[in-house]
């Protein structure tokens, strides 16, 4: 992450916006993180930034634009750049919650001071907030119950589920959700993804869990670059206390990006020799590619006593400690109270 303060310029007049961008780029310690039309910025699909600079345009003053930006910006400070920065403008800007008022074109020194003050206050506020935890869940092979486990834990903990699994099992369709947006809407942001942009994708299920849906396209995981995957982990900490990422089968650069960035990674397997063999290879692959060994745990799904493999034998074969055992028939579970095995796993993850 750069030490420079990133300024997002928002306004409906291209000439005014260009003038503000020129001052930002010439000012020490500042960089322009992008230029957006007001409607796009208010929608929440914004790149990550430290400060938003709202500009005058025909038919809408910067102060009028600042009000909806502040309502939807999730705490990102807004500075107003207006052609008439008089005492009335200062009072009106403060009334809507703006963190500064500048003239047009803004003075570079005043801009640096205003951005530094606004961004510094936000950083101090965010440092007092407890960061959320992120858990990556992937499978040794298809059919191990990764999606059922991720959904079950998200429901039990009223957490955020990010669907990054491939194939035809669409979490939104399975849960009966109708999201307005999906990961496809932020595919081009990559590392510039902001917490606001992530929030704009979230839909809430009636039982309290939240979902970020993938594209209905079965090949949607190709849209999730490694940079975007890392940004999803980073920004989800500010969006939810607990985030579960359904990665499907453990393969691909986006899986590695999430697993190396998450607090914990769960590898799901069933107690069958062929699946356990796949789990061992998956665990070895994750280790070779830099996923911290101490962060990886094994979940044995569809377990029953008297099976052909013991839990100790599975753990020894995979080389990863068993952190949870889910008995045959538990997943997917009914709505309502979570099964004790899922509740126990949730407790272990948030401890």
* Structure confidence at residue 46 as a pLDDT band (50, 70, 90): confident
Q: Are residues 202 and 148 in the same domain?
A: yes
Domain boundary at 112, 127, 142, which?
127
pLDDT in tens, 157-170: 999 999 998 777 78
Q: What is the mean pLDDT of residues 140-149?
A: 91
Q: Are residues 217 and 78 in the same domain?
A: no
Q: Match 């699909």 to its residue by tokens.
A: 45
Residue length of the chain? 351
Residue whose C-alpha is closest to residue 144's, from 308, 282, 20 = 282
Q: Are residues 109 and 22 in the same domain?
A: yes
More confident residue, 255 or 127: 255
Q: Are residues 27 and 114 in the same domain?
A: yes
Q: Are residues 73 and 166 in the same domain?
A: no
| Long-range CB contacts (within 8 A, 24+) of 285-292 | 285/250, 286/250, 286/256, 286/259, 289/256, 289/260, 290/256, 290/260, 291/256, 291/259, 291/260, 291/265, 292/260
pLDDT in tens, 273-282: 999 999 999 9
pLDDT of residue 173: 87
Q: Cβ(9)–Cβ(32) under 8 Å? A: yes
| Domains: count for the chain | 2
Q: Are residues 117 and 142 in the same domain?
A: no
Q: Are residues 66 and 176 in the same domain?
A: no
Query: Is the pLDDT confidence value at 129 over 70?
Result: no
289: containing domain = 133-350
Query: Is the pLDDT confidence value at 313 over 70?
Result: yes
pLDDT of residue 336: 58
Query: Is the pLDDT confidence value at 112 over 80?
Result: yes
Q: Are residues 107 and 152 in the same domain?
A: no
Query: Average per-residue pLDDT in the chain?
Result: 88
Q: d(Cα 214, Cα 227) in Å, to the nearest integer?
A: 16
* Structure confidence at residue 128 as a pLDDT band (50, 70, 90): very low
Query: Is the pLDDT confidence value at 199 over 60?
Result: yes
Domain CATH for 65? 3.40.50.2300
Domain CATH for 334? 3.40.50.300
Q: Are residues 137 and 115 in the same domain?
A: no
Q: Are residues 272 and 297 in the same domain?
A: yes
Half-sphere CA count of 110, side-chain side, radius 13 A: 15
Query: Is the pLDDT confidence value at 218 over 70?
Result: no
| Lowest mean pLDDT segment, chosen from 116-125, 146-155, 249-258 | 116-125
pTM for the predicted model, two decimal places: 0.76
């Amino acid at each position: 992450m750069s030490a420079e303060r990133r300024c997002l310029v928002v306004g409906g007049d291209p000439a005014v916006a260009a003038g503000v961008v020129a001052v930002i780029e010439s000012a020490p310690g500042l960089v322009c993180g992008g230029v957006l039309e007001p409607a796009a910025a208010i929608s929440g699909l914004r790149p990550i930034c430290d400060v938003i600079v709202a500009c005058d345009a025909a038919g809408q003053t910067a102060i009028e634009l600042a009000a909806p930006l502040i309502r939807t910006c999730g705490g990102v400070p807004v500075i107003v750049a207006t052609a008439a920065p008089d005492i009335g403008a200062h009072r009106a800007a403060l009334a809507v919650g703006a963190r500064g008022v500048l003239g047009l074109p803004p003075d570079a020194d005043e801009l640096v001071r205003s951005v530094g003050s606004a961004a510094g206050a936000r950083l101090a506020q965010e440092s007092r907030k407890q960061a959320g935890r992120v858990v990556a869940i992937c499978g040794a092979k298809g059919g191990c119950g990764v999606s059922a486990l991720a959904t079950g834990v998200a429901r039990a903990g009223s957490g955020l589920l990010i669907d990054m699994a491939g194939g035809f099992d669409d979490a939104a369709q399975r849960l009966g959700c109708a999201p307005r947006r999906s990961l496809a809407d932020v595919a081009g942001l990559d590392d510039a993804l902001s917490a606001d942009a992530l929030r704009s994708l979230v839909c809430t299920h009636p039982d309290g869990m939240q979902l970020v849906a993938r594209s209905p396209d079965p090949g949607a995981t190709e849209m999730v670059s490694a940079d975007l995957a890392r940004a999803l982990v980073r920004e989800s900490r500010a969006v939810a206390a607990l985030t579960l990422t359904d990665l499907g089968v453990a393969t691909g650069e986006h899986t590695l990006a999430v697993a190396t960035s998450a607090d914990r990674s769960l590898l799901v397997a069933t107690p069958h020799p062929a699946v356990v063999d796949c789990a061992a290879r998956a665990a070895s692959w994750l280790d070779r590619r830099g996923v911290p060994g101490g962060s990886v745990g094994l979940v044995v799904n569809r377990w029953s006593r008297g099976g052909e493999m013991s839990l100790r034998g599975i753990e020894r074969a995979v080389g990863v400690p068993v952190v949870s055992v889910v008995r045959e028939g538990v997943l997917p579970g009914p709505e309502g109270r979570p099964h004790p095995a899922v509740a126990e796993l949730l407790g272990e993850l948030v401890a």
